[in-house]
Amino acid sequence: MGRKFFVGGNWKCNGTTEQVKNIVSTLNGGGVPSQDVVEVVISPPFVFLPLVKDLLRPDFHVAAQNCWVKKGGAFTGEVSAEMLVNLCIPWVIIGHSERRLILKESNEFVGDKVAYALSQGLKVIACIGETLEQREAGSTTEVVAAQTKAIAAKVSNWADVVLAYEPVWAIGTGKVATPAQAQEVHSELRKWLQANVSPEVAASTRIIYGGSVTAANCKELAAQPDVDGFLVGGASLKPEFIDIIKSAEVKKNA
């Protein structure tokens, strides 16, 4: 059914010009499966986007980590979707838990952002995921369904959306979800899409996992039937990111 494996590297708020050049040079020298097998998207902070785009190998693409919810204008400190399009940045990450939790972005606001970014021609990595408290209360499915619903309510075309399931308790903690935990939520999400959007969208939308993904744990996660790739934080700043990209081979041979 052709869900191409997807690996995103979210650099978050990290890097100097020197470090950026070093990471890109490592990525450019890495041997990875072809673009037919894996789609790779690197997301540096806004200020480094043009530099990374200029230096990065042509088979990898770039993403912004956020954009404004509507047309640009008098919104000090924001970056608009139009600007990203103007700079030929194809992708944007929206709704990362760090923005939902620290900057209080609501489900509705995230849904509006996803819809606006898509309307401008950007492709979107839309992030969802429960906190530890919510998981322990048994409300994981409910929480991720509500987050997905707020996006689905505003989006009619899912072709340019990748859904990133990132349990908050696994982000930056070294406490990765087990392959079974990831598979369980991914499968629930696919069922949700099937029931609430369409069987076609459920079958074709990539659902990727994020949260303490490393070279050591990626293959087992990648082997899960509903895990279509990764959104990688800390390890995307290191040479092991190449090994994570290579985990796409697990799918190819499945």
Ligand X SMILES: O=C(CO)COP(=O)(O)O
Query: Which window, 25-33, 99-107, 227-235, 242-250, contacts ligand X (CB under 6 A)?
Result: 227-235
Query: Which window, 68-76, 116-124, 188-196, 210-218, contacts ligand X (CB under 6 A)?
Result: 210-218
Closest listed residue to residue 247, CA positions, set 189, 55, 235, 237: 235
Give 67's Cβ-side CA count (13 Å radius): 34
Which member of 183, 212, 217, 224 binds ligand X (CB under 6 A)? 212
DSSP output for 164-191: EE--GGGTTTS-PPPHHHHHHHHHHHHH
Residue span 147-186 as binding mask against ligand X, x where in contact by CB under 6 A, dash where not: -------------------x----xx--------------
Residue holding tokens 């494996």? 5
Q: Annotate 65-86 with b (16+ C-beta within 10 A) or e (fewer).
A: bbbbbbeeeeeeeebbbbbbbe
CB 209 within 8 A of CB 175: no
- Residue 227 sits in the site that holds ligand X (CB under 6 A): no
Which member of 114, 213, 218, 245 binds ligand X (CB under 6 A)? 213
- Residue 210 sits in the site that holds ligand X (CB under 6 A): yes
Catalytic residue among 39, 105, 130, 166: 166
Catalytic residue among 96, 98, 105, 188: 96
Which residues are near ligand X by CB under 6 A? 10, 96, 166, 171-172, 210-213, 231-235
